[in-house]
Homo-oligomer: A and B are copies of this chain.
Amino acid sequence: MVDPLLAAPLTDAACMARALQWAALGRLTTFPNPRVGCVIVRDGRIVGEGWHQKAGEPHAEVHALRAAGAAVRGATVYVTLEPCSHQGRTPPCADALIAAQPARVVVAMLDPNPLVAGRGVAALEAAGIAVETGLLEASARRLNRGFLSRMERGRPFVTLKLGASLDGRTAMASGQSQWITSEAARADVHRLRAEAGAVLTTSATVLADDPQLSVRAPVATARQPDRIVLDSQARVAASARVWAPGARRLWLCGVEPMQRPADVDVLPVATTADGHLDLGAALAGLGAAGVNHVLVESGSRFAGVMLRSGLVDELVLYLAPSLLGDQARGLASLPGLDTLDQRIALRYTDVRQIGPDLKITAVLQET
């Protein structure tokens, strides 16, 4: 079968789109690094390609340069993120590119990492290589919105996941709540967890439901997401399933825990006057711990607190095809919302059917 992208003319946009496709292959594995892809073209032919697979392993450019060999001299290199200029766990990619002597480097976006931030491009230009930036930048930003959030705002990108009936109910008045959404929707949540790379919940949810917060079949991932528990009073027991091995576990506490489960990282977080964790400080702590993107899975009370805090970037809502009636429990507790102009405003970005349910994705809007 002919690859439609290879069959199409190798315009700059087509090559960068292909580099973005390579980059996306790293979406479950590059944490805390960004997802990056690279395509090298000479004389109208692709001579090398690659993508960053895992932190500590070679960057996308290195894979592509190795594949291209001597052919890179005089070629055009397409890379979805500015080549790094600093010595990290691997040597600077800008140096490797300069040594390989391409004629031109096209970059989708500058790296907001303060260790790079334009220095990669400057080094290439100083070496006489023509550099262009900004091609398909919006797509490149979307692919790394978690990494960008951490670099630009010092905190992870926050996706809040909720599930409800079509009339916005999560449980009967009695509390009965199992199986409102379908098995297909629950499997899709595992996909969300794997892509976010970190799952955050509260001690209230752990104490009530003892969730595992892991990625399980039918979704497969080479890396289990970080499990993060907000726990102002450090109430979660060492026996909680969320502390089971197999992933990084972060316990965000407002007090020093009496005991510390094996291999669980405790992050002290400031508390507010009413004894709750300061959510801005908690997210800043997660950013410092290298968390790019966090999926929040909690009850309706904490969902409401998060929504009111202004810290939610995106909402994913699974809507089951059923009505539970207005006696049933609501989706998000938003006390103090009295007038319509105080509502939480969203913009739909995606809607699709997952089994019998709808999956609605929306971004939070400034109001």
Enumerate chain A interface residues (CB-CB to B < 8 A): 164-169, 172-174, 176-180, 300, 304, 307, 317, 319, 321-335, 337-340, 343-348, 351, 353, 356, 358, 360, 362, 365
Question: What is the CB-to-nearest-CB distance from A332 to chain B, in angstroms, rounded to a whole number?
Answer: 6
Q: B330–A167 contact, CB under 8 A?
A: yes
Mostly, the A contact residues are: loop
CB pairs A–B below 8 angstroms (9 shown) = A172-B338, A304-B326, A321-B362, A322-B344, A322-B346, A323-B346, A324-B343, A325-B332, A326-B331
Contact (Cβ within 8 A) B351 A351: yes
Tell me which residues across on chain B come within 8 A of A167, comparing CB atoms: 164, 168, 330-332
Count this chain's copies in the assembly. 2
- Cβ contacts under 8 Å, A335 to chain B: 325, 327
Q: Which of B321, B362, B365 sits near A166, CB closer than 8 Å?
A: B362
Q: Would you give the shortest CB distance from A227 to chain B, in whole angstroms? A: 27
Task: Give the distance in Å from the alpha carbon of A332 to the alpha carbon of B328 in the complex.
Answer: 11
Minimum C-beta distance from A32 to chain B (A): 31
Given B330, B340, B348, which contacts A176 in the complex, CB threshold below 8 Å? B340
Partner pick for A337 among B327, B343, B346, CB 8 A cutoff: B327
A330 / chain B contacts, CB cutoff of 8 Å: 167-168, 325-326
User: In the complex, which residue of chain B has the Cβ closest to the Cβ of A334?
Assistant: B325
Q: How far is the CA of A365 from the CA of B166 in the complex (A)?
A: 14
Give the top 6 A-B pairs by smallest Cβ distance, nearest first. A168-B168, A325-B334, A326-B330, A323-B344, A167-B168, A321-B346
* Cα of A165 to Cα of B360 in the assembled complex, Å: 13
Contact of A317 among B166, B328, B360 (CB under 8 A): B166
Which residues of the partner chain B approach A322 to less than 8 Å between Cβ atoms?
Answer: 343-346
For A321, A333, A338, A362, which residue has the most chain B Cβ atoms within 10 angstroms?
A321
Alpha-carbon gap, A300 to B327, bound state (A): 12
The CA-CA distance from A323 to B162 in the complex, in Å, is 12
CB contacts (< 8 Å) of A339 on chain B: these are 172, 174, 176
Task: Determine the chain B residues whose CB is within 8 A of the CB of A326 once the complex forms.
Answer: 300, 304, 329-334
Q: Which of A168, A307, A344 gathers the greatest number of chain B CB atoms within 10 Å?
A: A168
A148 to B327, CA, bound (A): 36
Apart from A178-B340, A326-B333: 17 A-B pairs, beta carbons within 8 A: A164-B168, A166-B168, A166-B360, A167-B168, A167-B331, A168-B331, A174-B339, A180-B340, A307-B323, A319-B360, A321-B362, A324-B334, A325-B337, A326-B332, A351-B351, A351-B353, A351-B358
